[in-house]
Amino acid sequence: MKAEIKDILVRCAASTAFHAKFFFPEIFRTNFHNLHREILNKIDSTEKKVVIAAPRGIGKTSIMLYGLASRQILFEQKKFIVYLSNSAENAVLQTDSLKYELLSNPLIRKFFGSIKTSRIEVEYEEQFSKKAWITSGGTLVLPRGMGQQIRGLLYRSRRPDLIIIDDYEDKDEITNEKLSL
């Protein structure tokens, strides 16, 4: 049994797709198609900067949060994650949803225990708040909205090592040209 668990964890640590399907089957109910696989391959590549542009509604946010960010948190691969969205409210909502999934998911609790830190630090009385949260592995997750400061961020001598920019544009400011016949 231990070999099977180790194999699952090794596969999850190496593959965003496997991790997402294994730990979040209710979110990733259907098979990944070609565009998903392209996105997942880019995410898992060794490239330092990856830009993904794809149609609305294919699951980019879910892949970024529940695939990539959760994997980086659970396997302690990143220590300072900034999630940037068009508004602070949306960024908080998305990262709070991720936090909820990480705390309530029975498979995650079985394999990793609680991600909620038990450390008591005077400077971070609300270290598991909506504004920012620190996991038991020491990863800080910081939601930010358009216009909020991200340049120069520093947490315990660390700069952000993963920045996810998701739906950064304001839908009211986007104009779509309609083809008229």
pLDDT averages per 10-residue partition of the chain, 181 residues = 89 96 96 93 91 87 96 95 93 94 95 77 51 90 88 85 81 49 38
Burial of 81 (0-12, 13-18, 19+ CB in 10 A): buried
pLDDT at 55: 85
Q: What does the alpha-carbon distance between residue 141 and residue 57 come to, in Å, rounded to a whole number?
A: 24
Q: What does the alpha-carbon distance between residue 158 and residue 30 come to, in Å, rounded to a whole number?
A: 37
